[in-house]
Amino acid sequence: MMMSTNSVNSGGTDSCNKDDVLSEITALCLGTGRFLRGVLVPFLVQANHRVALIQPRGTSMQEYLVQRQKQQTQKQQQQQHKQHDEMTYEVDTVQPDGSITTETVPIVACFSFGHVDDKKAFFQSSFPKMTKGYVIITAGC
């Protein structure tokens, strides 16, 4: 499920599910850089954290995740699989023999502070529902 301003772009998910998702978040990553997503987020996921990303500037990460989610949904519909709302991104690891191992990392939500309204909406509508804040990750500060 992706959050952007006050809208939900999740293929029909209602507000109750949105609140459930927000309440699951236990790790909030302020930044969407390659290093943060390639190193720390996988560790957090491995530790059973439910991770949300915040892109401080721009919306490219949201767009990328939504695009991937749509592609995954279409693929699952074609294969008549159960639809999942999980957002994921990929991480490549180049092995010594030259082969590339691709890991799929799941996240709960992705926000953007690219616009003033987006940031305002985050603090007004989304943040109050995050009741399990354990970890905040920062990068590029």
Partner 1 sequence: MKDLFDILSAYHKQLQNQEQQPLLPYPQKLVVIDMDNVPHNGTKIQEYMLAHAASLDSATEDDDDERMTLFLNTRVIFCNTMVDRITSSRPDSHGMVPRCEPLPLKALVIGDYTGYVHRHVFPPLIVSQQQQQHQPGIFLRQTPQQLQRDIDLKLSIANGTHTAIAHTLALLGHTMTTVLSYTNESEDHDQPTSKNIFMEYLDALVHEQIIPSCSTTDTPANLSNDAHAVWLDWKQRLIHPHFGLSTFFITQNGTAKGGIRWGPTVMALLQHDSDMDENTDAPSINESFAVQKPPIQVSFALAYAVLLRWLTPTTTFGEREGVYRGWLNGFDPQTTTNASTDATCSGTEYADGLCYELQQGWYDFKCPLPDLISKLHACLKSSKAQPQDCRDAVRYYLTQDQGGNLTDIGPAASAATNRHFEELVDATAVLYARLIAGDDLLDILKELQRSAYGIGFTSPCRALLLAATTPATLVSPPASAAARLLHYRPQSIPDSSRLLDLPVTLSNINDVVTSEVQSVVAIDLHTHLLPPSHGPLCLWGIDELLTYVRNSVCILA
Interface residues with partner 1 (CB under 8 A) are 28, 30-31, 33-40, 43, 46-49, 54, 56, 60-61, 64, 89-98, 100, 113, 119, 123, 127-128, 131, 133-141
Count of CB atoms situated within 10 Å of the CB of 128: 10
Residue recorded with tokens 């519909």: 77
Residue with tokens 């927000």: 22
Report the distance separating Cα 95 and Cα 3, nearest Å: 35
Say if CB 140 and CB 30 are below 8 A apart. Answer: no
Least Å distance, CB 30 to partner 1, is 6
Instruction: Give 10 or 55: the residue with its C-beta nearer to partner 1.
Output: 55
104 Cβ neighbours under 8 A, 6+ residues apart? 88, 89, 90
CB of 80 to partner 1, least distance (A): 28
Q: Whole-number minimum distance, CB 82 to partner 1, in Å?
A: 26
CB of 6 to partner 1, least distance (A): 17
Nearer to partner 1 by Cβ, of 75 and 132: the residue is 132
71 or 83: whose CB is closer to partner 1? 71
In the bound state with partner 1, the residue whose beta carbon lies nearer, of 113 and 115, is: 113
Rounded to whole angstroms, the Cα distance separating 40 from 67 reads 23
Report the nearest approach of partner 1 to the CB of residue 116 (Å).
12
Full DSSP string of 25-36: --EEEE---HHI
> 48 or 80: whose CB is closer to partner 1?
48
